[in-house]
Structure 1
Amino acid sequence: MDFKMLVAIFVVSLFARIPTSSAWGTDGHYMVCKIAQSYLTSTASSAVLKLLPSSANGDLASMCSWADNVRTTYPWSSALHYIDTPDNLCTYSYSRDCHDSAGAAGRCVVGAINNYTSQLRTYPSTTYNLTQALLFLSHFMGDVHQPLHVGFTTDAGGNSITVYWYNVQTNLHSVWDTKIITTSESNYFGNDVNKMSDSIKANITSTQISQWNSCGSSTSACADSFASESIQQACSYAYKDAPNGAYLSDSTKLKEAVRWMAPSLSDLPIQLEDDTQAGTEIDGVSWKNATGHTWHSNRD
């Protein structure tokens, strides 16, 4: 498939779930948090600055991959990065799907978002480690917007589907996780993640922000809607015409999606809408009311 075509698809739904490595690539998470911090209200921004470790120098984006980096330290957290859904149903149900491999309810990315949002809403009077809550939540808000982080059980979110990206063997998850981003950075942004992030932000409209924050005041309803959108996008775009052995750089795969995204193809740098969506929703969901159980969190 032509690179611009795949980028167009990627605009629709960003990244994917990894059960054997880390969630998005580092740059994907970095951009989500950079955009998110720029949209925080003054109250939320002040709280974030107080909660960030001193090593971050006030930069949330620099810590946005922390949740991946502590998987060895906190092996319990692996199940919180994704959701397994029944193969080919293309639907998500919290009661059916939000559990870990041992069947423990609530241990999935949506459950984690709900948990850490609840903890942050106790700010500033709390017994929770709100720095960790902030870092986990910021990361998981990115993960839930990756289509394959709410993927099929059998293929582990595309990890077991071998594909070729510009003739180099990889897996479907990796393509949506990192390859599209790094190729975009190289081709259009001089390998500068900040330029790419700034370009994404420049294309955000007030209408989009309003739509992204329209799920209401219920945290659980918001997170459930994010997961439902992701599995639908996974089926419509990420999994579509991507069997084992597919060559994604030169096939005609996803032509329908290219037509659907035609308005966004008129200009590059590309608009990675779900990246920005994840970023703006961090503020809307986590800090709307900000003025339990702390999971000691194995798999992406």
Structure 2
Amino acid sequence: MKRLILTSLCLLFARGAFAWGQKGHDVTAYIAECRLTPEAAEKVRKALDGYSPVYIANWLDFASYWPEYAYSKTWHYLNIDEGETLESMSRNPGGDVLTAVTRLTEKLKSGRLTPEEETLSLKMLIHLVGDMHCPMHLGRLSDLGGNKRPVRFFGRDTNLHSVWDTNIPEAVHKWSYSEWQQQIDRLTDEEAAQIAAGEPADWVKETHEICKEIYGFTPEGTDISYDYLFKYTPVVERQFLRGGHRLARLLNEIYR
């Protein structure tokens, strides 16, 4: 538990290396937390030693650097090159976000995990469902998911991956994670059920289609400014909503 607390403190100073920045994962986790059934909420709280999904939402970005969890470094993304599909692209032998989310969900549903195994699997799942909805985490292997595609963000040199992980979500609204949830999660029960439908493979394919559109609209050297934010703010909001509602659905199914 001390390590968990220290992780949260260190994340205040760590730069996002894998996925949505800290705010994006917090928003996704809080949307999910607000949509849990009372029974699921209590079981999640117990499995997380009293902490909330938001508290541990960024844990895996940090933990993947620790030797004991280094195996999870490739779990944050799934590269699909131009002209390839989820089915045709060779998969990373070390694992990817779809494989990880699928297996973690199955393990948690089995009910055969020790308390320690359950806690670890739950912490990973909360983070990785968020990753699954970050567009550039379905980016091309040829440019490392946009990490090697140079662009400018309001005149500052950066890369396409960083823009989508952190720059856009942090620029479009200066809200806390709870304000994000209050402002964008206004779905009816019917709308919430629709957005949470499907399976992880469907969600990956959906995110990949967004990623392909982003690549086409953002050639190397693009100077991203207000018009780009105006175009893609609804996409960021929609992906947060999708990730949060889908995570809630998985957790409600796991902890019936």
Q: TM-score w.r.t. structure 2 length?
A: 0.84
- Kept in 1, the 8 Å contact 2:133–2:203? The answer is yes
Cross-structure match for 2:140: 152
Q: Does 1:281 align with 2:227?
A: no
The count of residues paired between Structure 1 and Structure 2 equals: 238
Fraction of identical pairs, as percent: 26
* Contiguous gaps of at least 5 residues in structure 1: 1-19, 216-221, 292-300
SS state at 1:160 partner:
coil
Q: Which one has the bigger helix percentage? A: 2
Task: Render the CA deviation track for 1:156-175: whole Å, top value 9, x for unaligned.
Answer: 11111111111111111111
- Kept in 2, the 8 Å contact 1:200–1:271? The answer is no
* Contiguous gaps of at least 5 residues in structure 2: 1-15
Q: Does 1:244 align with 2:220?
A: yes
Cross-structure match for 1:110: 98
Task: Render the CA deviation track for 1:179-220: whole Å, top value 9, x for unaligned.
Answer: 11111233xx4xx3332232122x3233331212332xxxxx
- Kept in 2, the 8 Å contact 1:138–1:282? The answer is yes
In structure 2, the CA distance between the partners of 1:250 and 1:70, relative to structure 1 (3 Å rule), is same
Shift of 1:286: 3.8
Q: Does 1:233 align with 2:210?
A: yes
Cross-structure match for 1:272: 237
Cross-structure match for 2:4: none
Tell me which of 29, 33, 36 is aligned to 2:29. Answer: 33
Partner letter of residue 74 of structure 2? A
Partner letter of residue 52 of structure 1? L
C-alpha separation between the residues in 2 aligned to 1:195 and 1:254?
A: 19
In structure 2, the CA distance between the partners of 1:209 and 1:22, relative to structure 1 (3 Å rule), is same
Partner letter of residue 216 of structure 2? K
Task: Render the CA deviation track for 1:11-43: whole Å, top value 9, x for unaligned.
Answer: xxxxxxxxx922110100000001101101122
Tell me which of 53, 56, 64 is aligned to 1:60. Answer: 53
- Kept in 1, the 8 Å contact 2:77–2:137? The answer is yes
C-alpha separation between the residues in 1 aligned to 2:19 and 2:140?
A: 15
Cross-structure match for 1:12: none
Q: TM-score w.r.t. structure 1 length?
A: 0.72
Q: How does 1:181-260 map to 2 (within 5 A)?
A: 181-186=169-174, 189=175, 192-201=176-185, 203-215=186-198, 222-236=199-213, 238-249=214-225, 258=231
C-alpha separation between the residues in 2 aligned to 1:254 and 1:40?
A: 31
Partner letter of residue 29 of structure 2? C
SS state at 1:288 partner:
helix
Where in structure 1 do 4 or more consecutive aligned residues deviate above 6 Å?
none
Partner letter of residue 109 of structure 1? V
In structure 2, the CA distance between the partners of 1:52 and 1:182, relative to structure 1 (3 Å rule), is same
Shift of 1:108: 0.8
SS state at 1:121 partner:
helix
